[in-house]
Amino acid sequence: MLKIENLNVHYGGIHALRGVNMHIQEGKIISLIGANGAGKSTTLKSIMGLVDKSAGSVIYKGEDITKAQTIDIVKKGISLTPEGRRVFPDLTVKENLLLGAYLRKDKAEIKKDLEMVYGLFPRLLEREWQIAATLSGGEQQMLAVGRSLMSKPQLLMMDEPSLGLAPIIVKSIFEIIKEINKNGVSVLLIEQNAKAALEISDYAYVLETGTVVLEGPGKELITNDQVRKAYLGA
Amino acid sequence: MSKQKKWLLSCIAIAAFLAIVYVLEATIPKSSQWSMLFTVLEKGSIYALVAVSMNLVNGFTGLFSLGQAGFMLIGAYAYAIFTIPVEQRAAVYQYFDGGLVQFTLPVIVSILIAGLVAAAFAFLIGLPVLRLKSDYLAIATLGFAEIIRAIFQWNTLGPITNGSNLLRKFYTYDSALYPIIACGICIAIIVLLINSSYGRAFKAIREDEIAAEAMGINLFKHKQMSFVISSFFAGVGGALLAMFQTTIQASAFKAAMTYEFLLIVVIGGMGSVTGSVIASYLFIACREWWLRFLDAETYIGDFKVPLLRAGFRNVVFAVIIMIIVLFYRKGIMGTNEFSWDALIRWFKNLPKNIKSIPGRIKNIPNKFKRKSKKEAQINE
């Protein structure tokens, strides 16, 4: 579905990504793990066209989107839930969700998807008219995920959905990710919480200082010594 | 309250307001001191329109733009140039052989042209300027307004702009109802825009540019749209101001004028149309009418009241804005809008609120304490 080849990104003088290769298969959960500063967020941002790539190519469904604008990438069905949630604090929950569907014109379908999101997160329905800033961290994460779903993505990319959340809420967020995936959305997940991510993912990549050092099915990586030492603290 | 009922109530309120203005206009003689009321209504409406247009860019889209006076100037001139009657042009453009433009257009068309010309200028300067952020954008737009003012005073353009001389004798209205209705319609259009999905996108940009971009909102296109629309209405406001003043001169559209609108937007609340409208009328009423006495030397018997002299009004305004920034940072309305429900609630809670005023005054020193603690934390 999405093929990334030899992706390179420079931030000024810093070489943040040094030739990343990844392959995301349709209908799967793929996770990308690694330490702080390894280049995980940069990878997602460069797929979205939010940062400039210095070399490499991104192929989505056989189409080259390396140089495409963010707006066109969203239209093609890729959606990003940015790191740290980044909901629009002074807008209501409903307004936040509708902004996720900004590029869509089919009003009836948008309404259906709104109900789908409320079905997934009943808490959001309860707080439909509340200002997003007044939600708790977990609710804001639900809102951010719901907002991404409103663009009706085929590929949902999530940047650290468990950041700063209580363990019980992290668990429910991961349950939701599985459910979203079951509905036919491919997921690319970035996580610090490597164990939880590897458990639910079909395939995983380990990123270190801008290159993929290890890859394999999620369940295999959990038992991999190198991964255990570096990321699972065992 | 049901939606239909609210609509009905709003329509009745608007009709009643217009009827009262009509009756007052017919009964109050021009010589009475109460005729100031019409100055406030007319100028207040025009200021409300420009303040709301400024709020669209500054409050709703989060762009710190200070070019409003420049766009008003363009609108005012465009309007005046196209509506001076042909037979009067020789007198108006006396130093430029009657000027270049030798035709007049209908008033409504001229007002629209005033807006469109301002919008076209906004589009052009928006191309480079809107790529700047925060303070830099403010400086660039402020500079633009000053440059425009200088260009319109330039003698070489005299056949069109009449150089630094007055433009006069153009068509003006004869009833306060005209500017009130015109501004009302324009503000209603802006409100419709803000409540549309475009308005949501503007607010998203204000709140978080990166998240907005990730939603597929084209940042530049939407900033440009907000800026151009705001300038269109500033241009219309300029045309209406020209009618109100009956004469215009480029030198009047100084940066100080933009600051007046900034003051109104801040007092009313960044991101509240209602706030801007209320603050406009308040500001104009204070400046033109209620606080006039501050500028006049006053004697009580033989005692000369200290401080009262020409210019003291501005000192009072400076103090008011300081008080607002310190204690009332969100302005009159914050980001809230008028609603019948809120109005009814406000009246219900009024007795309780009045009772709590002494307590709140006692709390003011605490406010200072808390703030300084917070600041200390930041400084650490």
Locate the chain A residue with the closest alpha carbon to B213: A70
Q: Tell me, yes or no, if A99 comes closer than 8 A to chain B by beta carbon.
A: yes
Model ipTM over 0.90: no
Using alpha carbons only, give the angle B233, B118, B114 rounded to the nearest 5 degrees.
75
Strand partners, A22: A4
B365 within some domain: no
Six-digit token string for A100? 């996720």
Mutate to test the interface with A, among B205, B208, B215 (most CBs of A within 10 A): B215
A87/B200 Cβ within 8 A: no
pLDDT tens across the length of chain B (380 residues): 788 888 898 899 999 999 999 998 888 887 887 888 888 999 999 999 999 999 999 999 999 999 999 999 999 999 999 999 988 888 888 888 888 888 889 999 999 999 999 999 999 999 999 988 878 999 999 999 999 999 999 988 888 888 888 898 899 988 889 999 999 999 999 999 999 999 999 999 999 998 898 888 999 999 999 999 999 999 999 999 999 999 999 999 988 899 999 989 988 988 899 999 999 999 999 888 888 888 877 788 788 777 777 788 888 888 887 888 888 878 888 888 888 888 888 888 888 888 877 777 777 666 666 555 555 555 54
Dihedral, B128, B132, B138, B143 alpha carbons, nearest 10: -30
Reading the block at residue A108, the tokens are 């009836």
- Nearest CA to B75 out of B312, B234, B204, B248 is that of B234
Distance from the A83 Cα atom to the nearest Cα atom in chain B, whole angstroms: 10
Number of C-alpha atoms within 13 angstroms, CB side, residue A38? 20
Measure Cα distances from B114 to A42, A197, B117, B238, B251 in Å. 47, 59, 5, 8, 18
| Residue A33, φ and ψ in degrees, nearest 5 | -115, 165
In angstroms, the CA A163 to CA A82 distance is 11
How close A134 comes to chain B (CA, Å)?
15
**One-letter amino acid of B231:** S
HSE-up (13 A, CA, CB side) for residue A96: 35
Summarised one tens digit per residue, pLDDT across range A147-177 is 999 988 999 999 988 888 888 888 888 888 9
pLDDT of residue B373: 52
Q: Does residue B208 belong to the interface with chain A, where contact is any CB pair within 8 Å? A: yes
- How many distinct structural domains can be found in chain B? 1
Token reading at A203: 């395939």
In the CATH hierarchy, which top-level class contains the domain A2-84+154-232?
A: alpha beta
Give domain status of residue B41, yes or no: yes
Which of A16-25, A96-105, A223-232, B99-108 is predicted least confidently?
Answer: A223-232
Asked if the Cβ–Cβ distance from B216 to A147 is below 8 Å, we say: no
Distance CA B73, CA B30 (A): 29
Nearest Cα residue to A56 out of A84, A21, A29: A21
Per-residue model confidence (pLDDT) at position B368: 60
pLDDT of residue A234: 56
Question: Closest residue of A to B198, CA-based?
Answer: A102
**Cα–Cα distance, B233 to A171 (Å, whole number):** 51
Indicate yes or no: CB of A102 within 8 angstroms of CB of B201.
yes
Residues of B in contact with A78 (CB under 8 A): none
- Residue B222 lies inside a defined structural domain of this protein: yes
Give the pLDDT confidence score for residue A161 in this predicted structure. 87
First-residue to last-residue Cα distance in chain B = 51
What values do phi and psi take at B39, rounded to 5? -55, -45
Q: Which domain holds residue B149?
A: 36-253
- How many residues are recorded in chain B? 380
Q: pTM (2 decimals)?
A: 0.86
Cβ B216–A95 below 8 Å, yes or no? no
Contact B113, B105 (CB under 8 A): yes
Q: Answer whether B211 sits within 8 Å of A87, measured CB to CB.
A: yes
- C-beta atoms surrounding A189 within 10 Å: 29
> Is residue A147 within 8 angstroms of chain B, CB to CB?
yes
**CB atoms closer than 10 angstroms to residue A139:** 21
- Extents of the domains making up chain A: 2-84+154-232
Are the Cβ atoms of B215 and A102 closer than 8 angstroms? yes
Smallest CA-to-CA distance from B244 within B170, B149, B188 is with B170
pLDDT of residue B189: 96
> Does B352 reside within a domain?
no
Could you tell me if residue B371 is inside a domain? no
Runs of H (alpha helix) within B56-133: 68-83, 86-92, 107-129
The identity of residue A209, as a single letter, is T
Q: What is the pLDDT of residue B362?
A: 75
What percent of chain A stands above pLDDT 70? Answer: 99
